Amino acid sequence: MDYKIFWTEESIKNLKEIIDYLNLKWTEKEIKNFKIKLSKKIELISTNPFMFPASVNAPKL
């Protein structure tokens, strides 16, 4: 069973800021590879959430 990933407004804002910053420093190819790797990690979290440690700041997440 896959778990649903919920993105908070803050997490969406942070990701957009990260991508904006990377656009200044990286090539399009590097950014594309980052997005692919990020998507794979999110999928992995969705299918196997207990592979990763709980957040120290928000352990119930």
The pLDDT of residue 61 is 66
pLDDT bucket at 55, cuts 50 / 70 / 90 = confident
Domain edges within the chain: 9-50
Residue 22 burial by CB count (10 A; 0-12/13-18/19+): exposed, middle or buried?
Answer: middle
Query: What is the pTM assigned to this prediction?
Result: 0.77
Q: What Rg, from alpha-carbon coordinates, does the chain have? A: 14
pLDDT of 31 above 90: yes
10-23 pLDDT, tens digit per residue, is: 999 999 999 999 99
